[in-house]
Amino acid sequence: MKKQLLSFKYALRGIWYTVKTESHMRFHIVIAFYVLLFSSFYNFTAAQQALLILLIAAVMACEALNTCIEEICNLTADRFEPIIKAAKDAAAGAVLILSAAAVVVGIIFFWNTTVIAHIFDFFAHNIFMLVFFTLSLILSVLFVLLGPIGIKAKFLRLKIKKLK
């Protein structure tokens, strides 16, 4: 049992490393959040919901594998190597292919002008939710650009400046 718990610990550490170091992973997390948020406005079947979750997980898993390949390549080559570049490009291409497929599925699932109008109407009549949504967008941009550590450091610097 201890071995299995350690496996989870190491896996979570790997996910955390990818989130900390890769803005693309943070972007995927933000997109997943909004996909799941807006999916609540739709009457998706259980199969459609499952497909969305599987696509989200697949894109994030592919991004984690891409990070793994990049890190191994960086470790094995201390100078430019065409084969290393090809491996890194191919891994990034795999993420792009899967992400593009997920976007197409998203367009197919979410392109319903009636529901989109309902979403706009919902936010137009719920100012609190509109403010919350706007704040979430700002925090999402900061999360993608700075990462979890960068945001924490930035807020700590702001608190220190206020104390002085």
Q: How do residues 88-134 score in pLDDT, each as one tens digit?
A: 999 999 999 999 999 999 999 999 999 999 999 999 999 999 999 99
Q: How do residues 48-64 score in pLDDT, each as one tens digit?
A: 999 999 999 999 999 99
Question: Would you identify the CATH topology of the domain 2-163?
Answer: Helix Hairpins (1.10.287)
Coarse DSSP helix, strand, coil percentages of the chain, rounded to the nearest 5 percent: 90, 0, 10
Domain extent listing, the chain: 2-163
**71 noted as active-site residue:** no
Q: How do residues 29-38 score in pLDDT, each as one tens digit?
A: 999 999 999 9
**Which residue type, as a one-letter code, is found at position 132?**
F
Task: Provide the whole-model pTM.
Answer: 0.86
Which of 63, 70, 71, 81 is catalytic? The answer is: 63
Q: How far is CA 2 from CA 8, 10, 14, 83, 136, in A?
A: 10, 12, 18, 40, 38
